[in-house]
Amino acid sequence: MRIATWNVNSVGARLPKLLDWLGTAEPDVLCLQELKCAEDAFPFDEVGELGYEIAAHGTGRWNGVAVLSRVGLTDVRRGLLDQPGFQADGSMFETPEPRAVAATCGGVRVWSVYVPNGREVGHAHYDYKLRWLEALRATAVEELAADRPWAVLGDFNIAPNDEDVWDIAAFEGCTHVTPEERKALTALTESGLTEVHPRALKYDVPFTYWDYRALRFPNNQGMRIDLAYGNAAFTGAVTDSYVDRNARKGKGTSDHAPVVVDLDLG
């Protein structure tokens, strides 16, 4: 089974790229983030013609996640356990953003997540990010009670280690690399999950994101923030994992590249 994750940065703008990649990479399951469309505006027909069922969760404008599967799609769940919400003034409200969706695909439980950015240290959005990650940890504990392969994949907006950014000095005092954010990732592993680390191909570090500005991609000045975590039944079946850097090349691409995980589930 091939499972992948990709922040497409607008499924509408990236639809030709998405369809082409699905046809060439042929993932059995694809987790998408940053759809930037309402659920009913998702291109169900175009993607469905390639044999995929879709569980989408979006309200338009920003955010939005989906799970695409050609090996079955059941037990869909939208939103985390006690997931917090966010408003511009920093107050919490009851309706959470569409940042998490799960489905069982071919016997594997998969979550597609789009972790809040955090904006800047000390901002209300940064506190929201940490609260959101705690909800993800609580959801992981709940899901891990079931005896089945289980994984959470997506754009975590956190670089796990200093070497996962092109220049750690450039990120001093910034989000994505703070001890508090990394502690949240550690809490995931302590709950029973292990990261699936993609192998390096062209470069020593398999970055997954490069800013559109300042020639970041040609200069390989990127970050590794698109991650995959799984339980023992999932990680024990992994045969390969890599970042498809070629999907980031050319015009009209997302600023993220897909992360691919291959499994042999016996």
Domain count, the chain: 1
Is 34 marked as binding a ligand? Answer: yes
Residue 256 belongs to domain spanning? 2-263
Active site residue 176: no
- In the block, tokens 């997931």 appear at 83
What pLDDT does 89 receive?
64
What pLDDT does 32 receive?
99
Q: What is the value of pTM for the model shown?
A: 0.97
- In the block, tokens 């949240």 appear at 184
Given strand 226-230, what is the order of strands in its sheet?
74-78, 100-105, 108-114, 150-155, 226-230, 194-195
What pLDDT does 254 receive?
98
What DSSP string describes 55-98? Answer: EEE-BSSS--EEEEESS--EEEEES-TT-----TTS---SS--S
Annotated catalytic residue, options 52, 226, 229, 256: 256
What pLDDT does 87 receive?
77
How far is residue 66's CA from residue 10's CA, in Å, rounded to a whole number?
12
Annotated catalytic residue, options 28, 127, 155, 164: 155
Active site residue 155: yes
Instruction: Record the tokens describing residue 222, joined without a space.
Output: 């990127």
Annotated catalytic residue, options 28, 57, 114, 226: 114
**Residue 112 belongs to domain with CATH number:** 3.60.10.10
Is 264 marked as binding a ligand? Answer: no
Is 220 marked as binding a ligand? Answer: no
Active site residue 209: no
Helix or strand (DSSP H, E) at 137: helix 124-143
What pLDDT does 201 receive?
87
CA 238 to chain CA centroid, nearest Å = 18
Is 231 marked as binding a ligand? Answer: no
pLDDT in tens for each of the 266 residues of the chain? 999 999 999 999 999 999 999 999 999 999 999 999 999 999 999 999 999 999 999 998 889 999 999 999 999 999 999 999 987 665 555 578 999 999 999 999 999 999 999 999 999 999 999 999 999 999 999 999 998 999 999 999 999 999 999 999 999 999 999 999 999 999 999 999 999 999 988 888 999 999 999 999 999 999 999 999 999 999 999 999 999 999 999 999 999 999 999 999 98
